[in-house]
A and B are shown apart, each in its own frame.
Chain A
Amino acid sequence: MAVVFQKPKSLTDAPLHYCPGCTHGIIHRLVAEAIDELQIEGKTIGVAPVGCAVMAYDYFACDMVEAAHGRAPAVATGLKRALPENIIFTYQGDGDLASIGMAETVHAATRNENITVIFVNNAIYGMTGGQMAPTSLPGQVTQTSPYGRDTATVGFPIRVSEMLATLDGPEFIQRVAVNNVKNVNAAKKAIKKAFQNQIEGKGFSLIEVVSSCPTNWGMTPKKALEWVEEKMIPYYPLGVYKDRSANKEEK
């Protein structure tokens, strides 16, 4: 019988610990598919964050490093500077990348560090049980914003892709989503490009993946994906925010 679908080589056999309906599984798969297709598994080193994806080091079959909370871009910088021929990626959530690790994120971007960053934005701290994230939407109810995110007292969500795109440094910034097949396919393409850019030595590529957290949003998986479409994407519009090489070619 012909094999029509199988697990990417770049994922191990370890069972994922993610909650039912969580989109981390899809995003792990997309990253692994990109690594497989580019045939870079043997020279790829991934950096896992602190957050729901902390145990990504057990799931990706390439060499892995577990970083301190928010420090993945700095750790990836060290790895890349030590091994410039290897392919280095980080996989980080919104609390990790846009709150405690914002400085590391911005500076890796402005250095145009030749790494690939997968940024999973689900607008909440998942692992610790659903606290307000830097990307939680105005009015969003979380454990630490029980009356809804009040922008008057805690400020507004951060649009990471837009913010980083203002820098001269980074090569490629795109926001994608994984709430339907069309978006998953687009996300795959973007992630692959982010790795391809690194192979070509183009520099810092960040893919923001608008994602869902049914458990901590208190929704069914289906309802959560609808919420992505109705609430998240309008606040975090999908698209390419920066593509330096493409713009150069146009000029």
Chain B
Amino acid sequence: MAEKVLMKGNEAIAEAAIRAGCMHYFGYPITPQTEIAAYMAKRMPKIGGVFLQAESEIAAINMVYGVAGTGLRVMTSSSSPGVSLKGEGISYLAGSDLPALIVNVQRGGPGLGGIQPSQSDYFQATRGGGHGDYHLIVMAPASVQEMADMTAKCFDLSDKYRVPAMILADGTLGQMMEPVVLPEPTDYKPNKPWAVTGTECKRKHNIINSLYLKPEQLEQTNFERYERYKAIEENEPLWEEFMMEDAEVCVAAFGIAARVSKNAIMAARAEGIKVGMIRPITLWPFPKKPFKAAADKCKAFISVELSMGQMIEDVQLATECKRPVTLCNRTGGMIPSPEEVLEAIKKAAGGNK
């Protein structure tokens, strides 16, 4: 069995990325994700990789675009305001069908917001974030172990579908230390015939591009991309079910909110309330299936979020509004306490008796 090490979530992402064969990192300092850049700055020069502190988030994501075009694994990381700046480049990555990993260790917003943990970039992440018709593969870790595992998974899925992937974490997960088993190093060798690597005068030139002046062509390209999205929605949703077997109330929560919710659920169970949780692990594709099934047996849903209520809309959609969905939330960098979630559970359990 592999050795457990004690690491911060942000560092676990960085080391897992290197082990997944990502030898290029571009970033710009912003709290609370700076440990990723610091780790890369220390490690990359020692292993023949590239760490470059870009002049801006915009430049960083476009450097990512350049490396992604060559077929190599590449990543950037930032926090909410910085991810907004990357939005342009993320849209271009999606439009040019380039794989890459973007990490968002969220902080409160809007605007400059704060530096405390938040989940208020859910809409931005799951709806694309930039302009145009596109999605990212979005994964939401709830532990340092998942920070590491999802990094490897994101690179694999991103390559497989030629869709950029995002890890949507938050300041708590980024900063907290937990024991983690790091994934085994992989010897990644790209096999991407579309990549720009120089023609060697042996083939027609490859072009990385998102411009289609003929609307029929752009429409067709978008149709084809959405066929891939359809395959992702069919094959890749991930979720965890916690005490759902006999649950009458269903909590929906991801990331740090799910950990708080687990404590509240245990407390509620101790009081005899039949409550469980569905934790989306992929936020896009959203795990619609378990929610749809739960809507037939649970009488109420609670969306626990560190935002003014964003995922709640996906819960309503997935449950086809068959049952009431209430919101239990804090925002601006505040985290709901287990007691607050417990109150919400009691209300949901009792309110419909």
Q: How far, in angstroms, from A47 to B202 measured CA to CA in the complex? A: 20
- Shortest distance between the CB of A87 and any CB in chain B (Å): 8
Residue A41, interface by CB 8 Å: yes
Residue B12, interface by CB 8 Å: no
Report the count of interface residues on A (CB-CB < 8 A): 36
B200 and A65 within 8 A (CB) = no
- Shortest distance between the CB of B285 and any CB in chain A (Å): 27
Give residues 192-230 of B contacting A (CB, 8 Å).
196-202, 205-211
- Shortest distance between the CB of B33 and any CB in chain A (Å): 20
B62 and A83 within 8 A (CB) = no
Residue B67, interface by CB 8 Å: yes
- By beta carbon, the residue of chain A nearest B201 is A42
B50 and A81 within 8 A (CB) = yes
Of B55, B65, B198, B201, which is within 8 A of A78 by CB? B65
Q: How far, in angstroms, from A57 to B52 measured CA to CA in the complex? A: 27
Give residues 38-68 of A contacting B (CB, 8 Å).
41-45, 47, 54-55, 57-58, 60-68
B63 and A74 within 8 A (CB) = yes
B69 and A78 within 8 A (CB) = yes
Cβ contacts under 8 Å, A45 to chain B:
196-198
Contact digits for B51-76, partner A, Cβ 8 Å, 1 yes 0 no: 01011101110111111111010100
Residue A183, interface by CB 8 Å: no
Cβ contacts under 8 Å, B205 to chain A:
12, 60-64
Max count, chain B CB within 10 A of own CB: residue among A45, A71, A75: A75
Of A74, A81, A86, which is within 8 A of B198 by CB? A86
Q: How far, in angstroms, from A45 to B197 measured CA to CA in the complex? A: 7
B208 and A64 within 8 A (CB) = yes
- Shortest distance between the CB of B292 and any CB in chain A (Å): 39
Max count, chain A CB within 10 A of own CB: residue among B66, B67, B210: B66
- By beta carbon, the residue of chain A nearest B88 is A68
- By beta carbon, the residue of chain A nearest B55 is A107
B66 and A42 within 8 A (CB) = no
Cβ contacts under 8 Å, A44 to chain B:
198
Residue B291, interface by CB 8 Å: no
A68 and B55 within 8 A (CB) = no
Residue A76, interface by CB 8 Å: yes
Residue A179, interface by CB 8 Å: no
B59 and A41 within 8 A (CB) = no
List the count of A-B residue pairs having beta carbons below 8 Å apart: 131
Residue B155, interface by CB 8 Å: no
Q: A74-B59, A78-B67 are in contact. Are A41 and B92 (CB under 8 A)?
A: no
Cβ contacts under 8 Å, B56 to chain A:
103
B198 and A66 within 8 A (CB) = no
Cβ contacts under 8 Å, B54 to chain A:
74, 107
- By beta carbon, the residue of chain A nearest B91 is A68
Cβ contacts under 8 Å, B209 to chain A:
57, 64-66
Q: How far, in angstroms, from A182 to B68 measured CA to CA in the complex? A: 41
Of B89, B199, B207, which is within 8 A of A66 by CB? B207
Cβ contacts under 8 Å, A135 to chain B:
none
Residue B284, interface by CB 8 Å: no
Cβ contacts under 8 Å, A226 to chain B:
none
Q: A63-B205, A63-B206, A86-B198 are in contact. Are A68 and B92 (CB under 8 A)?
A: yes
B63 and A77 within 8 A (CB) = yes
Across the A-B interface, the 10 shortest Cβ-Cβ residue pairs: A78-B66, A74-B62, A63-B196, A78-B63, A107-B55, A43-B198, A71-B62, A42-B201, A66-B209, A74-B59
Residues of A within 8 A of B (CB): 12, 41-45, 47, 54-55, 57-58, 60-68, 71, 74-83, 86, 103-104, 106-107
16 extra interface residue pairs, beta carbon distance < 8 Å, beyond A63-B198, A63-B199, A81-B50: A42-B201, A43-B200, A62-B205, A64-B209, A65-B209, A71-B58, A74-B63, A76-B66, A78-B63, A78-B65, A80-B66, A82-B24, A82-B74, A103-B59, A107-B54, A107-B55
Q: List 10 A-B contacts (CB under 8 A).
A: A42-B199, A47-B66, A63-B197, A74-B62, A74-B66, A77-B63, A78-B68, A78-B74, A82-B74, A103-B55
